[in-house]
Amino acid sequence: MKERLAMAVHDEIASLVRRAAEIVVFSGAGLSADSGIPTFRDGATGLWNNVDPDEVASIDGFMRNPRVVWNWLRELKNLVDDRQPNPGHRAIARLERIVADKRLTVVTQNIDGYHSRAGNADVLEVHGTIHRLRCHARCGFADEWGEDLREPFPCPQCGAPARPDLVLFGEALDPEVFTAAGRRSARADVFFCVGTSFTVQPAAHLPVWAKASGATVVEINPHRTPLSEVADYSIRAGASQFFAALCQTLAPDAVDATDA
Ligand code: OAD
């Protein structure tokens, strides 16, 4: 484990990226912090420090009182709709364009859809998305979560409850998406782990798989996490600062009209 200032390691990390065939960027709530979306566990602003996840974001809570879960997630969706991808998301999208000859996969725990909005093409949302509703019984019904859908309603196809298409506490991850994320992680030469406290399983296992399969694991987080012990590089920096600097090192002369 090497803990160094971000600026000092950019050349080293850039060399690793240049030599890599497969790259994974694994992201968590800290990446969207610069967009004004609160993380789950940071200090006074952490969402789970202010509401009980069992009430507002668990499958048991949804079965007990769907309206409470629906309303809380609806508010979160309004905030996500109101804000936008930040320079960190845009730099990761730019990184994909810089390494266009390689495979770059984003594996995200975030439900905000900002990676795709920023321009990344290959995004695996292991915790689902707040932008879509689906039938709880998985009869096939799915729809965009439109502005007008403010109340829980039964699935128009089978009558089971309709619900946001994200993973609630007490539920399993979509096996297809998680298997794909596991495969990409195992094939990665460089595995970036950004903005996650590394506490929620099974997603938190992906960097461990990547490392066990031979990837260089690079953590970017202003604070130490359990991954800091395991990562090859544990960089104390914000996501936006790190990825913007990495892109600058990799492509100093590139002019990219989509950069902000
Ligand atoms: P957490 O809130 O647990 O952790 C956020 C992490 O981001 C912390 O380690 C912060 O230090 C770090 N951080 C804060 N600002 C940052 C910045 N500007 N740049 C980089 N890092 C920063 O969020 P997650 O690890 O994503 O699950 O939480 C994992 C899961 O727990 C979420 O997906 C969600 C939640 O319950 C579901 O919704 C199923």
Q: What is the pLDDT of residues 200-213, one digit of tens each?
A: 999 999 999 999 99
pLDDT (mean) for 113-134: 98
Q: Is the predicted pLDDT of residue 71 greater than 80, yes or no?
A: yes
- Rounded to whole angstroms, how far apart are CA atoms 134 and 162? 6
Q: Is the predicted pLDDT of residue 145 greater than 80, yes or no?
A: yes
pLDDT (mean) for 215-233: 96
109 lines ligand 1 (CB under 6 A): yes
Q: Whose CA is nearest to atom 17 of ligand 1?
A: 238
pLDDT (mean) for 43-48: 84
For the stretch 158-172, pLDDT in tens is 999 999 999 999 999
Confidence of residue 257 (pLDDT cuts 50, 70, 90): low
Q: Average pLDDT of the chain?
A: 93
The two tokens of residue 65 are 């009182």
225 or 259, higher pLDDT = 225
| Strands 162-166 vs 128-135: parallel, antiparallel or unpaired | antiparallel
200 lines ligand 1 (CB under 6 A): yes
pTM value?
0.94
What pLDDT sits at residue 149? 85
The neighbour count for residue 118, using CB atoms within 10 Å, is 22
Q: Is the predicted pLDDT of residue 6 greater than 80, yes or no?
A: no
What pLDDT sits at residue 10? 82
What pLDDT sits at residue 86? 98
Confidence of residue 256 (pLDDT cuts 50, 70, 90): low
pLDDT (mean) for 59-72: 96
For the chain, what percent of residues have pLDDT higher than 70? 94
Q: Has 127 been annotated as catalytic?
A: yes
- Rounded to whole angstroms, how far apart are CA atoms 59 and 124? 22
Q: What is the Å distance from ligand 1's center to 199 Cα?
A: 9
Confidence of residue 44 (pLDDT cuts 50, 70, 90): confident
Q: Give me the catalytic one of 127, 136, 205, 223.
A: 127
In 3D space, the residue among 240, 250, 252, 257 whose CA is nearest the CA of residue 102 turns out to be 250
In 3D space, the residue among 240, 238, 215 whose CA is nearest the CA of residue 17 turns out to be 215
C-alpha of 16 from chain center: 22
* Domains of the chain by start residue, with CATH: 1-35+85-127+172-260 (3.40.50.1220), 38-82+128-166 (3.30.1600.10)
What pLDDT sits at residue 94? 97
Whether 173 contacts 167, CB under 8 Å = yes
In 3D space, the residue among 57, 50, 54 whose CA is nearest the CA of residue 73 turns out to be 57
